[in-house]
Structure formats: structure tokens, C-alpha cells
Homo-oligomer: A and B are copies of this chain.
Amino acid sequence: MRWTLGELARLVEGELEGDPGVPIRGLASLERAGDGDLSFVTARRHVRAAERSQASAFLVPPDVAIPGRPVIRVAQPYGAVAALLRVFHPEPILAPGVHPTACISSMARVALDATVLAFAVVGDASVVESRAVLHPHVVVGDRCRVGEASILHAHVVLREDVVVGRRVVIHAGAVLGADGFGYVFDGSHHRKIPQVGRVVIEDDVEIGANVTIDRATFGETVVGHGTKIDNLVQIGHNTVVGTDTVIVAQTGIAGSCRIGSRVVLGGQVGLADHVTIGDGAQVGSQAGVHGEVAPGAAVWGSPAIPLPIARRVAVAMPRLPELLHTVRRLEKRVADLERRLGMWRGEAR
């Protein structure tokens, strides 16, 4: 697939500076780009690297020029990259239909234009809607719904009563609807609390590889529309995550949390049971949160504290051993002064 720079400029509604006839065959980073590649500069500080790059042209923000090289000016170069990547690498089109090895319950309903690949399993009373794709070895339990145009990659497991909205992408190995972790200790053993609730994934959610999202005890565990979840994240039973929230890899969210919308949880964050995170809040990586984070707040550290304080603590921390030493010396000096002035009050600790 070959395009000209002029055609690409029109596609991204950018302002072309240079020869519209330059042939472009792909996108690449500044370092890897060669002749025929379009590359991109997202900030002024990358102009030097761009000048050294072998790329044939560049997507640049409005205020950047690369002397003597063709550029397409756009408000958001990385947004334009995202759009053009799909031009150069269109989603593979999978033929609709059910692979002969797939095992579909006679009580399930699979849309005629859905794609069900090898060894996929669909349980009783489940629905796979139009243009949905079940990759090889996907297991959809009983009474599930996989919404329009959603893609479940290889080995995804939906246990019973899991509802997946439209245009959802679930990466390989993710498990939705396993039992929540709930027990009553009877004095000698932990007795299981049956977990009979559901999992609801709203539209346009993306869920990473080997993620686990547990079903509710009763009621629902919910991930709101547009939320993006990275690999190996754990979401406990009864937790409700809002819309357009971002959860980075290996973060663990315990049970019955309320996470707002447009929240960002960094990598390896831990949220205790019943935590509330307000809309737009940001939690730094490896933070440990108990209690509540206010809307729009930023916190960091374990346990988490407001980000500006956490940053100053992080800077101060390496000086703690020296500080202990300094204070010990200060105590002696003050004791000396006190002795001098006849104020001595006994052994300083």
C-alpha cells in the first residue's frame, strides 16, 4: 500500500509543507525511519533527532519546523499517527462464521456475521452479537453477552453471567467473572461466601492480557465505558470503575471500591477494600490507597499521601540516616549548653 504525502496530509486534515508527491509506504519512529517512511515529532525537543532521521517526511505540531524537510502540520501529531497507523495497517478482516471445531451450545445465539474461531466454547443462553470475534480457545460461559464488534482474544474466559458491551477488546488470557474472594471465618475454617453476582463491561472498554475481574457477591462488578485496563490488573468483587479511566499494568483493586471517571491509576497500585477514588484523580505507580481520594486529587506513596508532599518525602528520604546522626549530635550539644547554664535536667535520651 503506497500513499503520497499529499494524500496523507488530507487524511489527517494537516497543512502540508513540501512536495505532495513524496511517496510514503509506512510510519516509523525517528530512529528507525528510512526512505519512504513518515515519522513524527511530538515536541520541540525532538527536532534535533528529526534532523538526523532518515524519514522522508514528518508529522509536526504547528510551532515546529524541520528546515529543508517536508512536514505535515497538525494540532496533535500523535493523534495523526494513531489515525494513519490504521491506514497502513488495516485491521485484518476475519471471515464471519463459526469454525467447525467450535463448540456452541444449541441454546446460544451467535450472529451470522460474528466470527467464532477454533475450539471456542459458547455456553447456554449466551449471545454473541454482530461482528463480534471469539478467537481460538475463548470460553464464554452460560448467560453471557458479547456485544457488537467486540473482540475476545485467544484463551479469554468469561464465566457465567458476564455482560460485555460493544467494541470491547479483551486481550488473551483475561478471566472475567471468577468468584470474588469472600469468606466467613467460623473460628477454625474460612467458609466460602457464594459469589452469585455478575460482571458488566460497558462499551469501548479495553482489557489487557491475563487481567482478572471477579464477579460480584450479589449485584455487579462494573467497568464503565471507554475505560482502558492494562495487563495483569486485578479487579475485586463489587468494585465499580467509572468511564474513560486508565488503569496501568499489575494494579490491584480490592473489593467494593468505587473508582470515578477519567481517573488514572499508575502501575502496581494497590487499592484496599472499600476505597473511593473521585473523578479525575491520579494515583502514582506503586501507591497504596486506603480510604478516599478526592476528585481531581493526585496521590502517591504507600500509604498514599498528596503528590506534592510525597515528592518532597521522596527527596528527603535518602537524608534520613544523616538526619538521625545530626539530631544525636544536636542533643549532645544542647545538653552541653544546658550544663554550661546550670540547666541540666538529667540524661538526654
Interface positions of A (Cβ within 8 A of B): 27-29, 32, 76, 78-79, 81-82, 85-86, 88-89, 92, 99, 101, 103, 117-119, 121, 135-137, 139, 141-142, 153-155, 157, 159, 169, 171-173, 175, 178-179, 181, 183-184, 186, 188-194, 196, 204, 206, 208-210, 212, 214, 217-219, 226, 228, 230-232, 234, 236, 244, 246, 248-250, 252, 254, 267-268, 270, 272, 285-286, 288, 301-303, 305, 309-310, 312-321, 323-324, 326-327, 330-331, 333-334, 336-338, 340-341, 343, 349
Q: Which of B92, B119, B186, B250 contacts A234 (CB 8 A)?
A: B250
Question: Beyond the given A234-B250, A313-B317, A327-B330, could you list 19 further A-B residue pairs with CB under 8 A, ordered by the A residue number?
Answer: A79-B184, A89-B196, A103-B119, A141-B154, A175-B209, A178-B209, A188-B244, A192-B206, A210-B232, A252-B268, A267-B270, A270-B285, A286-B286, A313-B321, A315-B321, A317-B320, A319-B324, A323-B324, A326-B331
**Are A320 and B320 also in contact (CB < 8 A) when A137-B119, A196-B85, A327-B326 are?**
yes
Smallest CB gap from A84: residue in B: B194
Is the CB–CB distance between B219 and A208 below 8 Å? no
Residues from chain B with a CB closer than 8 A to the CB of A173 are: 155, 157, 173, 175, 210, 212
Q: Which of B76, B188, B212, B219 contacts A210 (CB 8 A)?
A: B212
Q: Which of B246, B331, B336 contacts A330 (CB 8 A)?
A: B331
Is the CB–CB distance between A85 and B326 below 8 Å? no
**Are A208 and B178 also in contact (CB < 8 A) when A89-B196, A190-B244 are?**
yes
Residues from chain B with a CB closer than 8 A to the CB of A341 are: 337, 340-341
CA distance A238 to B285 in the complex (A): 20
Closest CB in chain B relative to A41 CB, distance in Å = 15
CA distance A349 to B313 in the complex (A): 19
**Are A189 and B155 also in contact (CB < 8 A) when A28-B219, A32-B219, A321-B316 are?**
no
Residues from chain B with a CB closer than 8 A to the CB of A267 are: 252, 254, 270, 272
Q: Which of B81, B157, B232 contacts A153 (CB 8 A)?
A: B157
